[in-house]
Amino acid sequence: MEIRLSGFGGQGIIRMGMILGRAAALHAGKEATLTQSFGPEARGGACSAQLVISDHKILYPYVTRPDLLVTMSQEAHERFEPELADNGLLFTDADLVRPHAPRAAVRCYSVPATRIAEGLGNRLYANMVMLGFVVGVSACVPREAVLAALPGAVPERLLAQNLAAFDRGFALGREQLAAG
């Protein structure tokens, strides 16, 4: 599975990719690679993390046509949505991305990740809300693998808040998946 996570610097896009890759490789028995790119600005510039997750040895570590795309900014959406594979999964932050009419073969899911994170006390948890949502809908890695990967991947003093944000997103993802 090829995955691209995208947004702008400061949203925790790279951390989200690291956690997902760590969950796959260390806790789900899969192979995983992670590459990343970001603009010259530390915050506010374009940012993306690319993961390849497989049951087999990965021979090419770069994403060529993502099966799963997360866009947490309008700029990222405009740039990366055309690359999404047919029958791909598109995830957007409902408050930050206004998607154009999706291609018929793309399944779209949206969650107000930033607004939910603010309700949890800090908008910086939006990446964990989105990660939970993505795992809840796609099952790209098991929930338990992500829960096992979080300690050590986020500051210990913020672990409980990150877990709460992930769980909130996961529950919303399961609800949206069940609703069809």
- Other CB atoms within 10 Å distance of the CB of residue 26: 13
Tell me, what's the pLDDT at 37?
Answer: 84
Query: Residue 70: enclosing H or E segment and its boundaries?
Result: strand 68-71
Per-residue tokens: 178: 């069940």
Q: CA 134 → CA 45, 60, 154, 155, 171, distances in Å?
A: 23, 24, 18, 22, 10
Among the listed residues 35, 36, 39, 51, the one whose alpha carbon sits nearest the alpha carbon of residue 9:
39
- Report pLDDT digits (tens) over 6-49: 998 889 999 999 999 999 999 999 999 999 987 655 556 779 99
3-state percent breakdown (helix, strand, coil) of the chain, nearest 5: 45, 20, 35
Domains of the chain and any CATH numbers: 2-179 (3.40.920.10)
Angle at 167 between CA 161 and CA 171, to 5 degrees: 150
Predicted model pTM: 0.94
Low-confidence residues in the chain, pLDDT < 70: 39-44
Alpha helices in 24-158 (DSSP H): 74-80, 113-119, 126-138, 143-149
